[in-house]
Structure 1
Amino acid sequence: MTTYSPAEAAEQSGFSIDTLRYYEREGILPRIERTAGGRRVYSDGDLWMLGFLRCLRDTGMSIEQLRRYGEMSRDDNTMPERVALLEEHADSIRARITELNAILTRVEEKTDWYRGELRRTSDAAS
């Protein structure tokens, strides 16, 4: 089994070492294995979980929702609740995408207007 140091886990996940400790302390991550000397070692499964948590965090999932997901992920009887939580989050992502697409359209319209003004100014100067 491959293991990773906290620095390697931080690098691969994009979270800081402090965030990894925080996530473990808050129950977002399961308890991380330790060496005989007490140093944390992360498994491939831990890195997968960190990658998924990064995905959830980057899409706006709150710390409280991450905590709920982390707690539920350690109990096989909570799969329906996890599905509901992830469906709710997916709905919020879709709503944000719709909002961002509308904003993008406005920015593109303004950019096109500026380009038109530049062409007209350039044509007038010729």
Structure 2
Amino acid sequence: MTRNGKYSPGEAADVTGLSLDTLRYYEREELIGPIERLPGGRRVFTEGDIAWIGVVSCLRDAGLGIADIQRFTTLLRTAGDPASRVEFLRERRAALIEHMARMDAALGVLDDKIEYYGARQAEKSARA
């Protein structure tokens, strides 16, 4: 970390686990930033930027697309009603719960198949 809680782009990439290309893309798509620039044009990330990148990463992990995150950041940047932000997050949470239920069902099917074929393999080995 550089002085005063600021990070170079490389340090920001290391801390967040994202590539420099991803950080540039997120900035270009206005998911993060605006990122402070030094007189030579080099970007400098603050602790706040790093924290927000963590939120964006979490939202991506939750299955939100770039357009969804852009919409959310727009809701945050405007002086709009906080209720719209809560509604947005509740809608995404409900979708994530549905997705998790489908993934849980799929995991159950895989576990059943693993058990079934594992038992068949064990029977075949026992007969050999």
Normalising by structure 2, we get a TM-score of 0.86
Contact 1:30 1:70 in 2 (8 A): no
Uncovered stretches (5+) of structure 2, i.e. residues with no partner: none
Question: How far off its partner does 1:78 sit?
Answer: 4.0
Any unmatched runs of 5+ in structure 1?
none
Retained in 2: the 8 A contact 1:14–1:54?
A: no
Q: Kindly state the Cα deviation for residue 86 of structure 1 after the two structures are TM-superposed.
A: 1.3
1:92 matched to which residue of 2?
A: 95
Pick the aligned partner of 1:56 from 36, 39, 59.
59
Which has the larger displacement, 23-32 or 69-78? 69-78
Change (3 A) 1:44 1:66: same
Query: Is residue 2:127 matched to residue 1:124?
Result: yes
Q: How many matched pairs?
A: 125
Q: Tell me the secondary structure at the aligned position of residue 37 of structure 1.
A: coil
The C-alpha deviation readout for 1:57-97, integer Å capped at 9, x for no partner, is 12221111111112222235442222111111111111111
Question: Secondary structure of the residue that 2:34 maps to in structure 1?
Answer: coil
Kindly indicate whether residue 61 of structure 2 is the aligned counterpart of residue 66 of structure 1: no
Distance in 2, Cα, partners of 1:118 & 1:96: 32
Distance 1:84 1:106 in 2: 33
Q: % of aligned pairs identical?
A: 37
Tell me: CA distance 1:78–1:13, structure 2 relative to 1, closer, same or farther (3 Å): farther
Q: Tell me the alpha carbon deviations over residues 89-126 of structure 1, each in whole angstroms, 9 at most, x when there is no partner.
A: 1111111111111111111111111121122223323x
Shift of 1:35: 1.6
* Pair 1:7 & 2:10 matched: yes
Higher RCO, 1 or 2 (CA under 8 Å, sep at least 6)?
Answer: 1
Amino acid at match of 1:22: Y
Q: 2:110 aligns with which of 107, 112, 125?
A: 107
SS of the aligned residue for 1:15 comes to coil
CA RMSD, 1 decimal: 1.7
Contact 1:5 1:40 in 2 (8 A): yes
TM-score, normalised to structure 1's length?
A: 0.87
